[in-house]
Amino acid sequence: MKRRQLLTGSITTVAATTLSVPAVAQSSPAVKWRMASSFPKSSDVIWGSSVAVADAVSAMTDGQFTIQVFAAGELVPPLQVADAVTNSTVQMGHTGAYFYIGKDTAFAVGGQLPWMSNARQFQAWLHAGGGNDLFNTFIKNYNLLNLPAGNTGAQMAGWYRKEIKSIDDLRGLKMRIGGLGGALLKRMGVVPQQIALGDIYPALEKGVIDALELVGPLDDEKMGFVKIAPYYYYPGFWEGSSELSYFVNLDQWNSLPKQYQAALRHATRSVGLEQLTKYDAGNTAALRRLVSAGAQLRALPEDILEESYKQSKLMFAEMSAANPNFKTLYDHMSKFMADSNVYLEISELYFDLMKNTARRKGWDKI
Amino acid sequence: MKRRQLLTGSITTVAATTLSVPAVAQSSPAVKWRMASSFPKSSDVIWGSSVAVADAVSAMTDGQFTIQVFAAGELVPPLQVADAVTNSTVQMGHTGAYFYIGKDTAFAVGGQLPWMSNARQFQAWLHAGGGNDLFNTFIKNYNLLNLPAGNTGAQMAGWYRKEIKSIDDLRGLKMRIGGLGGALLKRMGVVPQQIALGDIYPALEKGVIDALELVGPLDDEKMGFVKIAPYYYYPGFWEGSSELSYFVNLDQWNSLPKQYQAALRHATRSVGLEQLTKYDAGNTAALRRLVSAGAQLRALPEDILEESYKQSKLMFAEMSAANPNFKTLYDHMSKFMADSNVYLEISELYFDLMKNTARRKGWDKI
């Protein structure tokens, strides 16, 4: 039954209008959801994305489908967002899939893996390579559906009190780093620490940690780390393409009208695209301000990159042996990445390289 | 007035229900649009995007806002889509902004410029750097609004009958290439030709042209060029980040309910993201099939890259001097690109480089 035909086609008979009411209620009911975020309001871009998704959904449904967003800790602790969604405490959450590797290491694959992919590749795997569908067959076990929430692009390797000249300087280094990045660096002598966002600066000040990683210049700047740990390293090889997640309770998703499902799905992709553009548009200015404030920008020494790459493969092999869920996702993803890389290397990467070569060789001086 | 409250809040009085009808008609009217595409149905990914946008908009408005998509030539010739939108022959079009540099060279900037940016940078400029807003102040003169339609990523430099060993081999080369790419190659001795898609193969067969460029492996494969012009070159420096456009008639846009504007805007961004993932997920397999079929994959010689880079800067300087519209957009864009490149080079590009170095050095052999 087309409600619009009923409502606009004829208003000559009161009966027809009255009959149309149940149809309206069915297809465009007022739906109010709550979204728990793992992120504080101070994480401007990421928090802003969740609010933008809620705004978009409301705008596209004429205010009929509203989502109220709660910052980290307002309803549930930041690392328990998935549980709150599974349990229907909230209908959806904005979080990082890799926060839940304690439940099952396969969660990591929903966010990226160390050394595995850049943002283009990861989003290609998710959206066109069957990756997100496969991930969703896994998190169905938790009554969850994943809607990818947008990428940060390649992150920095973080802030360090002292210069890192070789892999020896990692031994015993107390570093705030979580997830598989932490597990990987632990294999190289780092002592990883889990510290909540608000506690990082004091921990650095008191010498509880020697180093930390967060995201990149745009997010890092406001934390003021440069004053205590001025060595700012790249590349963040454990987060070459960090994709966050909207986890939706599967029953709630299935009970949504198709119209609202479409609005939510497209809103998350549209805002996700915008999120990456915000990072790409803002990171350089933030980096310049950080360097003016004393940041010492450095590339990690090659022995660290080499060992971390080798250790990542060993770690994935061990994780695959220990967990068939991880193995299924890892095998699928790593095959896709090796494959997609072939064309990206001669097209995208070569173009970027030559574009920078041109600048370096002064071809732009006309 | 909240129509839903009226419709679902109380159905005890017939009067209230009847009164609500005008409100419904106002906020969610049935709207039927037509979209003229510059692309044939055979351009799977790009044509598919326009259909996906129409589907998304319909799904998000419960079938109230429908857009019928017409392939190239069905309603208007492919290179007259912008005019058809300006004149309200259709409400919107799917096209390439650079198709219209004959009207004003500033149109080129809506799609990308040679040697200027990769896809990440271009989308950052459009969506978060004020680029699309600025472009829209320009095309307002044509009663148009641009909604960016998604990127192809860095393209190939096309198919050549003979190997290109140095810049000397470009002299007199009859090549099917349009837009600023054609203008740029002309400065290096190429004789650019405008040939419609369906006429390229016969032109190649008859020797009317010696070379041609299209997009990349996924789109090029089905054309069969490999049989006649097997040398397949990269990088397509004139199309490092080709972004297509949905041009919308500005009056039609302004008359859309806000709800439908939001649906159309988010649909184009969401589907745009998906478009790039389809290219990234499909190009390698197509490239492999092409190489099996005899494609000779080659990098363009450095003297061509150098001269093309220098010539691009000279060309932009001349275009800026001749056209203040172009100059405004070009200055804005090139400043943004130089800036965004600083962080992207140490993060994204360095990560990609090291990821490929790792493979090349065998760090993945564990």
Interface list for A 201-230 with B (CB within 8 A): 216-217
**B293 near A CB under 8 A:** no
Candidates B277, B303, B304: best to mutate against A (most CBs of A within 10 A) is B277
Name the minimum distance, in Å, from the CA of B303 to any CA of chain A: 11
Cβ of B339 and A154 within 8 Å?
no
**Smallest CA–CA distance from A26 into chain B, residue:** B8
Q: What is the pLDDT of residues A139-194, one digit of tens each?
A: 999 999 999 999 999 999 999 999 999 999 999 999 999 899 999 999 999 999 98
Does residue B110 contact residue B146 with C-beta atoms inside 8 Å? Answer: yes
pLDDT of residue A15: 32
Instruction: Number of A to B CB contacts under 8 A, please give it.
Output: 317
Cβ of A240 and B355 within 8 Å?
yes
Residues of B in contact with A305 (CB under 8 A): 354, 358
Q: Taking the domain B158-240+283-325, which CATH number applies?
A: 3.40.190.10
For chain A, give the mean pLDDT.
Answer: 92
**B192 near A CB under 8 A:** no
pLDDT at A195 over 60: yes
Burial of A27 by CB count in 10 Å (0-12 exposed, 13-18 middle, 19+ buried)?
middle
**What is the pLDDT averaged over residues B145-160?**
98
Q: Point out the residue among B18, B29, B61 whose CB comes nearest to the CB of A17.
A: B18
- Which percentage of chain B shows pLDDT scores above 70? 93
Candidates A279, A344, A354: best to mutate against B (most CBs of B within 10 A) is A354
Residues of B in contact with A315 (CB under 8 A): none
Q: What is the pLDDT of residues A320-339, one digit of tens each?
A: 999 999 999 999 999 999 99
Candidates A120, A188, A287: best to mutate against B (most CBs of B within 10 A) is A120
**Smallest CA–CA distance from B345 into chain A, residue:** A356
Cβ of B340 and A24 within 8 Å?
no
pLDDT at B45 over 50: yes
The whole-angstrom separation of Cα B267 and Cα B258 is: 14
**What is the pLDDT averaged over residues A83-100?**
97
Q: Point out the residue among B27, B59, B273 whose CB comes nearest to the CB of A123.
A: B273
Q: What is the pLDDT of residues B229-280, one digit of tens each?
A: 999 999 999 999 999 999 999 999 999 999 999 999 999 999 999 999 999 9
Residues of B in contact with A306 (CB under 8 A): 358, 361, 363
Q: What are the residue ranges spanned by the domains of chain A?
A: 27-152+241-281, 158-240+283-325
**ipTM associated with this complex:** 0.92
Q: Taking the domain B27-152+241-281, which CATH number applies?
A: 3.40.190.170
Cβ of A120 and B120 within 8 Å?
yes
**A21 near B CB under 8 A:** yes
For chain B, give the mean pLDDT.
Answer: 92
Mean pLDDT is lowest, of A123-137, B23-37, B151-165, for: B23-37
- Which percentage of chain A shows pLDDT scores above 90? 90
Residues of A in contact with B269 (CB under 8 A): 269-270, 273-274
Residues of A in contact with B215 (CB under 8 A): none
pLDDT at B23 over 90: no
Name the minimum distance, in Å, from the CA of A264 to any CA of chain B: 9
A27-152+241-281 and A158-240+283-325 share one CATH topology? yes
pLDDT at B1 over 60: no
ω before A29 within 30° of 0 (cis)? no
Q: Point out the residue among A60, A216, A281 whose CB comes nearest to the CB of B129.
A: A281
- Of B343, B154, B275, give the one whose Cα is nearest residue A123: B275
Interface list for A 304-343 with B (CB within 8 A): 305-306, 309-310, 313-314, 317, 336, 339-343
